[in-house]
């Protein structure tokens, strides 16, 4: 069950930085199955620009399900 996710982190200057999480079925030699990269634009992905790698991690608990979150529209 491979999956992709996103996370936004607020920096010290108040700007949000977006990251992509890749969760894999297989683990690496250190038992990790999660990778984190800086988010890329559609143009960067299409141009096959090298991803900026942030770090590795591991999923330490799951109920066996990963659900796609629905986007909530805000009133303006």
Confidence of residue 64 (pLDDT cuts 50, 70, 90): confident
Tell me what percent of the residues of the chain surpass a pLDDT of 70: 99
Quote the CA–CA distance of 34 and 57 in Å, as a whole number: 5
CB-CB contact of 21 with 4 (8 Å)? yes
Q: Distances from the Cα of 38 to the Cαs of 6, 23, 28, 58, 73, in angstroms? A: 10, 15, 20, 18, 25
**16-23 vs 34-38, strand pairing mode:** antiparallel
∠41-42-48 over CA atoms, to 5°?
90
pTM: 0.79
Two tokens, residue 58: 């591991």
């Amino acid at each position: 069950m491979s999956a992709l996710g996103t996370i936004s982190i607020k920096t010290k200057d108040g700007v949000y930085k977006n990251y992509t999480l890749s969760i894999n079925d297989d683990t690496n030699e250190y038992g990790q199955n999660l990778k984190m990269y800086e988010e890329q634009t559609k143009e960067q992905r299409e141009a096959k620009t090298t991803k900026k790698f942030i770090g590795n991690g591991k999923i330490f608990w799951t109920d066996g399900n990963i659900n796609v979150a629905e986007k909530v529209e805000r009133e303006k």
